[in-house]
Amino acid sequence: MWKAGKHMFQTLCKSIEENAPIHSRTIFEEFNLLYGHPWEVTATSDITTYYSSLYGLVKNEKPKRILEIGTAFGMSAATFLKASSENLELFVSMDLGIYAQQYDLPWSNIEFAESKVHKWCEQNGVSKDKVLFFQANSQPETLGDNENFGNEVTKWYRIPHLLRALQGELFDIIFVDGKHTEDGLLNDMKTFWRFLKPGGLMICDDLHDPIEYEGAFSWTNDTWNSYHHFIQQFDNEIEESMIWNFPKVPPDTKFGLRPFGLVRKHQNVPVTPNLDFEMFDADSAQHINKARQDHLASLGLGLAYSSVLEVGSGVGWHTAFFERMSCSVLSTDARESNVNEHLRRYPYREVKVADLNVEGSHKAFGKFDIIYCYGTLYHLSNPSIGIKELANLCNKYLLIETCVSPVDNGEINLEAENKDNPNQSIDGTGCRPGRDWVIEELGKYFPYIYLSVSQPNDPDFPIDWPVTNGVKNARAIFVASREELSLQTLTPNLINNQSYLTPLFEE
Ligand SMILES: C[S@@+](CC[C@H](N)C(=O)[O-])C[C@H]1O[C@@H](n2cnc3c(N)ncnc32)[C@H](O)[C@@H]1O
């Protein structure tokens, strides 16, 4: 099954078939995974080419970042580590963690896998901090595993550490080997495709042809249909795709075949730079953007699959955070020139001109689950109108990051800004409101207002208030909510001592 392309997969797969790069058993010997789990027969058998085939694919990619859905007992995780450890910056694997129980074993498969792989990391000088295992449900709504057991397991996007690891940078390889039945494979492919970098490789398995395998497996038809729906739906983002009908586990009959689906994402077509907007693209702007979004991922708010209104979107640097969470996003900005540049860079997005100082400016856009207002409130000459406007459109959370006054003085504190700069106030007047003013104003429209307990890792965010150390743009983060939130990351109190968010990795 081919998508017209350069047929690179065919050449690579043929060379692996003709010359196995490693024996699958060699991998499991090294990771102490030959015995002690339900798949001993697969781990020890000469018939098993599944893992040597996976090894060959991975080695060829020289990946730095790998994501796996469906850890089971860690055999594929071991294969990824063995094939990539020289270049590896991050390996993330998630699983429902109930697989061993289904084999009547009293332990957790994800903990078993983690202990084997981490032991190998210790012995081979690979930092365990970059090899992460999570008990998580990758499926949406009430779905779980093949029989929809485990649907109560925490969703992937509600686990702060996991979400931070996913949102940090895109992945070179994503291996999708979780729920096989119903639309399980399609759901996982769609959800995690957004985390694959341009040019990256997605691998999924058990793509048995329904005609050949009618009634043989619980997933016959389902994985096949999922894969083909995905290929059709994402056609314009796919460089090449192929089903590789070779990887095998015992028995040595056609029922041992475990065909991989291989999907290569297109490289991006580079957008020509536009120096008129370089203030949005500067390194300092990128640093604070990354710090803010790492912090937002850490809050545990569960923002995925939501409708989002992003205001003050500039040229669109923040939007991808929500796109990667399968959200639908409408972005607005007061400047037509910013909107045009945003659309030049990302023509497929929905971006509108609307000025938050004007009452009713956003009314026509309808209501949204989430309103994201980062780096915008302090550029308003009338922040009271801005907050009222956004509150009226908000079903769930209004997320605000803004420069504030270094002291909580209960005032708006208007301030002159350069209106000729595309990332400043449109009418030449901004504000640096006291944190207490923001909280009081939000309290007119929302029953629950929170401040973040930690601050993003950027020097613009102070941790001790009032701010006396001369930080020019003291920033703070507020969450206004329609429902009460009991998250350790948020406080209903106007605290004067915050902490910096612990970095995910040692620098
Ligand atoms: C076929 S096994 C994975 C095999 C493993 N990749 C290997 O080759 O060593 C499928 C795994 O996916 C997990 N799984 C199924 N549905 C899931 C879901 N909704 N979220 C996360 N993991 C899931 C199962 O619990 C099981 O451990």
Among 206, 234, 265, give the residue marking a domain's end. Answer: 265
Determine if ligand 1 sits within 6 Å of the CB of residue 376.
Answer: no
Helix (H, G, I), strand (E, B), or coil: what is residue 161? helix
Question: Are both 224 and 309 inside the same structural domain?
Answer: no
Number of domains within the chain: 2
CA of residue 122 to ligand 1 center, whole Å? 25
The answer to whether position 260 is within a domain reads: yes
Nearest CA to ligand 1 atom 22: 95
Whether residues 237 and 302 fall in one domain: no
| Domain co-membership, 229 together with 346 | no
Nearest CA to ligand 1 atom 1: 177
**Contacting residues for 455 by C-beta, under 8 A, at least 6 apart:** 295, 461, 462, 463, 475, 476, 477, 498, 499, 500, 501
**Surface-to-core class of residue 281, CB atoms within 10 Å of its CB (0-12 exposed, 13-18 middle, 19+ buried):** middle
Q: Domain check: are 384 and 291 in the same one?
A: yes
Residues 322, 174 share a domain = no
Residue 506 belongs to a domain: no
- Are 396 and 261 part of one and the same domain? no
Say yes or no: 193 and 331 in one domain.
Answer: no
Residue 272 lies in a domain: no
Residues 242 and 391 in one domain: no
216 lies in the same domain as 318: no
Domain annotation covers residue 340: yes
pTM as predicted? 0.96
For residue 451, the domain's CATH number is: 3.40.50.150
Distance between Cα 87 and ligand 1 center (Å): 26
Same domain, 256 and 393: no
Domain extent at residue 103: 8-265
| 258 occurs within a structural domain | yes
| Residues 302, 375 share a domain | yes
Is 32 part of a structural domain of the chain?
Answer: yes
Mutate to test the pocket of ligand 1, among 99, 162, 191, 260 (most ligand atoms within 8 A of CB): 99
Predicted confidence pLDDT, tens digits, the chain (507 residues): 445 555 899 999 999 999 999 999 999 999 999 999 999 999 999 999 999 999 999 999 999 999 999 999 999 999 999 999 899 999 999 999 999 999 999 999 999 999 999 999 999 999 999 999 999 999 999 999 999 999 999 999 999 999 999 999 999 999 999 999 999 999 999 999 999 999 999 999 999 999 999 999 999 999 999 999 999 999 999 999 999 999 999 999 999 999 999 999 999 888 898 999 999 999 999 999 999 999 999 999 999 999 999 999 999 999 999 999 999 999 999 999 999 999 999 999 999 999 999 999 999 999 999 999 999 999 999 999 999 999 999 999 999 999 999 999 999 999 999 999 999 999 999 999 999 999 999 999 999 999 999 999 999 999 999 999 877 789 999 999 999 999 999 999 999 999 999 999 876
Burial of 285 (0-12, 13-18, 19+ CB in 10 A): middle
Among 217, 240, 265, identify where a domain stops: 265
Torsion angle in degrees (nearest 10) through CA of 455, 460, 466, 467:
140
Q: What is the pLDDT of residue 265?
A: 98
> Is residue 454 one of the residues assigned to a domain?
yes
Q: Could you say which of 265, 300, 317 is where a domain stops? A: 265
8 Å CB contact between 400 and 374: yes
> Which is the closest atom of ligand 1 to the Cα of 68?
6
Burial of 283 (0-12, 13-18, 19+ CB in 10 A): exposed
pLDDT of residue 322: 98
**252 and 121 part of one domain:** yes
Is 2 among the domain residues? no
**Residues 6 or more apart whose Cβ sits within 8 Å of residue 158:** 300, 302
